[in-house]
Amino acid sequence: MNKQDLTNEIKAEALRLGFFTCGIAKADSVEKATADHVKRWLKEGKQANMDYMANYMEKRLDPRLLMEGARSIICVALNYAPHDYCSDSEYQLAAYALGQDYHDIMKAKLRRLAAKFGYEDALISQNPEAHKCRIFVDTGPILERYWAEKAGLGWTGKNHQLIIPHAGSMFFLGEILVDEELIYDQPIKNRCGNCRKCIEACPTKAIIENCEIDAEKCLSYQTIENRSELSSEATARIGNTIYGCDTCLKACPWNRFATPNDTPELQPKAELLQMTRQQWENLSEEEYRKLFKGSAVKRAKYKGLMRNIEAAACFSREKQLPLSNKSKDYEQENK
């Protein structure tokens, strides 16, 4: 099969497996401007306590170091926009966490895609004649949004989310690094323009002008990755969110094009959508394990989720009381 036919077949199979789109980029070192940006962001401590983001920097900036003979990066996006959400009057979880853990779902689909074309895992294959691959879903040292851009899937918005034209940004990303040369796609133009809606909507002002996030301020970081107490700023701005934050996604005009996904594993459990504030506040560890079996919410652990619920409950109670000075300041700055 020639390169063009193989490329076409890979993309067609990706769509058949349920991915929304698929593009291919040449495996190469990242551009200097991007490398400098990443290094500066880390040097300034914008990653908060996620120190692992500085690990394997050489590989992060040159995916060819992740696999001998790497030549192409197959990039895919899987829609996670839900059919149903938690009631607006109840506590909220980020939309991506309503279904089963996306790491497992994405990796299973990517393995099937790789196997269809004879690619074997470079880390375990014993066949010297087979073409090799490596699969990544948000866990390896690879700049996912950068390569999705290079593969023509979309562009990185000001909130650092990949935006797919006329589809929005509610997508999981994944990559297959392969040792074959394919036909490469071209990046598309960034179409955020002068829009600042995500920047203005962010409750903690975590989105910085030059298309990056100050993780320490971000509610997603605070409610998921942070293993200690919530920051005072997060506590004052948490609202009714108890895991993650979708505020910048909801503010993005491109997400008006989002359509509900049809992946069975990503559909939320009925019992999750039916949870009331009282049930959340009295959630036992056993109930937590049952409710979130196979879910990405496990990352916050029971202790972290209950910390978030307590903060959201306090926020809700304080809204019923006379405004504190902190609340007045927040109200004034958000007029």
Structure tokens at 140: 């390896």
Q: What is the CA radius of gyration of the chain?
A: 21
To the query of whether residue 138 is one of the catalytic residues in this protein, the response is: yes
Q: Which of 206, 192, 177 is nearest to 47 (CA)?
A: 206
Q: Which of 106, 100, 105 is nearest to 291 (CA)?
A: 100
Distance, C-alpha 170 to centroid of its chain: 8
Residue 21 and residue 171: Cα distance in Å, rounded? Answer: 10
Neighbour count for residue 227 (Cβ, 10 Å): 11
- The kind and range of the H/E element at 147 are helix 144-150
Contact 97, 142 (CB under 8 A): no
Residue 188 and residue 165: Cα distance in Å, rounded? Answer: 9
**Catalytic site residue from 104, 138, 185, 214:** 138
Residue 39 and residue 56: Cα distance in Å, rounded? Answer: 12
Helix%, strand%, coil% for the chain, nearest 5: 45, 15, 45
Q: Residue 211, exposed/middle/buried by CB under 10 A (0-12, 13-18, 19+)?
A: middle
Name the residues annotated as catalytic. Answer: 138
